[in-house]
Amino acid sequence: MLDKYKSSVVYQIYVKSFCDSNGDGIGDLNGIRSKLQYIKSLGVKYIWLTPFFCSPMIDNGYDVSDYRNINPMFGTMADCEALIREADDIGIGLMFDMVFNHTSDEHEWFKKALTGDPEYMDYYIFRDGREEGKPPVDWTASFGGPAWDYVPSLNKWYLHQFDPKQPDLNWENPKVREELKNVIRFWKNKGVKGFRFDVLNLISKPESFTNQPSGSATRCCKDGRHVHEFIKELVADTGIADMITVGEMASTTIDNVIRYSSPASNELSMCFSFHHLKVDYLNGDKFALMPPDMNMLHDVFRDWQEKVADGGGWNAVFWCNHDQPRIVSRFGDEGQYWKQSAKMLGTFVHLLRGTPYIYQGEELGMTNGHYTGIKQYDDVEAINYYNILLKRGSTESEALNVLANRARDNSRTPMQWNDGKFAGFSSSGAWLDIPENYKSINVEAEERDNDSILNYYRKLVILRGQFRIIADGAVKFIDTGNAKVLAYERTLDGERLVVVCSFSGKEENLPVMLEGDVLIGNYPDRAEVLRPYEAVAVIKY
């Protein structure tokens, strides 16, 4: 029997930015409850919610201080239980986001560790410095700065791969693993249907800490020596093997993704990997701009689609999430071909082999925020790197231009529901500035337009449920001879589906013979050439 997650689509909600029910300018659980019928209309089967647990919100909830309680800014446990129940009533399962690589420094475990309690110090990774004033090794954190922080009262350093207020947990300690299993059991018993695990491939640290050429803590910790056995143990002991599970895997490899997601491994349903979203990083630096390398984009998708399939693994396929700029601003066209390019990008991802994820507002073609001042930004990474860029010699204008293209706040702007005040997100304001184009890009406007991006996404979701070739067919990429035209074929039981997508703003030659019936396309008719940002999928029985 086909696994349900293969024919399903997941909708990601960034809770803080989805819908504000109480007028405080912050999205909340009751706001999500009020929009469940809209989410149902998309045809998705799961909702992934970003963390809404107790947190000081240094990293917008990815710094958890209590895994079993709700941050009051988002609601109450009763609200959460009602959301789980009401979503289940309309056939939608909730996936909760588990941040298990690290906690907040305000978690009770870390507070006890800071008192010198040896039991709780062993919940984290404390080490002696190499010499006075120097950390154990010269690793850098993902948000900038060193990956070790000094605690004078203990004369020890602790590891944090992200912010100093996000100390890494010590998964080598069986007590830590049991604590985290109990968190999964707690939410599973409340009716949660799946789990997304944040930066899961970073949980197993090296046996010894040594300086590495890259200097990056995450590169030194990724896909560590015990990571697979830790995941197997977590899944087996909590009984979630039959639930939808996805691991966010930082800078991982194809071989590891196959191991993480192959049914034979008894680990996860699927993995997020991000190599396709680094093709516009100059020299691999997220905060150094360059045009997308389309040849690289083709090669990454070809390798990850074909090789993961050959190994029996499964990908989560996506363009957008709460950590990535809006894809239509990045690889599409915000201007003349906004609608066509947004539809093309959706077509490309949704017909791939893997489970598609829609990030809130992606189905509307929402764009980057286009902020003009540093005070408009909220994200700790954006603010840190703004200052780093200035120290490196960038002008204020240059640094702001980088953030306008790369900052995570670009995806975290509030959901655009209508053209009224505050875009229908809230009655009184918004915690993050709303892009000015909300008056034309919003749910109500697109509901009225039969040719809207929103209605096109609904068709894509329906197709995955209707056609097994999309859900479970083999995949092979086609060499088009044109870096701006990507094409692939899906095959199953004698059927053949060919998908051609142009990432170009001008006409391009059609690289393959398209025989059969048009399954979906973003232009109303067929042509002998590919028009700007055209996408067409043709099926032959």
Please compute Rg for the chain using Cα positions.
Answer: 23
Task: Specify the pairing of strand 474-478 against strand 316-317.
Answer: unpaired
Residue 86 zone, left/alpha/beta (φ > 0; ψ -120 to 50; rest): alpha
SS (H, E, C) 60-87: CCCCCCEEEEECCCCCCHHHHHHHHHHH
For residue 188, the surrounding DSSP H or E stretch is helix 174-189
Cβ 442 vs Cβ 404: under 8 Å:
no
Say whether 131 is catalytic: no
Task: Specify the pairing of strand 93-98 against strand 46-49.
Answer: parallel
User: Could you identify the residue written with the tokens 């003009």?
Assistant: 372
Single out the residue of 43, 10, 13, 12 nearest to residue 28, CA to CA: 13
Q: How far is CA 188 from CA 239, 240, 244, in A?
A: 9, 8, 12
Task: Specify the pairing of strand 156-159 against strand 10-13.
Answer: unpaired
Phi, psi of 443, deg, nearest 5 = -60, -50
CA dihedral 377, 381, 383, 384 (to 10 degrees): 180
Instruction: Report the distance separating Cα 404 and Cα 369, nearest Å.
Output: 7
Tokens linked to 228: 């697979």
Catalytic entry in 97, 248, 379, 381: 248
* Three-state DSSP state, 394: coil
Which residues make Cβ contacts (< 8 Å) with residue 191, sequence separation at least 6? 81, 84, 85, 88, 94
Catalytic entry in 59, 79, 149, 198: 198
Sign of CA dihedral 364, 367, 371, 377: positive
Single out the residue of 180, 245, 486 nearest to residue 344, CA to CA: 486
Q: How far is CA 203 from CA 103, 173, 224, 243, 323, in A?
A: 12, 12, 7, 21, 20
**Helix axis angle, 396-406 to 380-391, nearest 10°:** 150
Say whether 381 is catalytic: no
Phi, psi of 155, deg, nearest 5 = 55, 40
Task: Specify the pairing of strand 474-478 against strand 485-492.
Answer: antiparallel
Helices marked H in 90-173: 108-114, 118-121
CA atoms within 13 A on the CB side of 473: 24
- Residues noted as catalytic: 198, 248
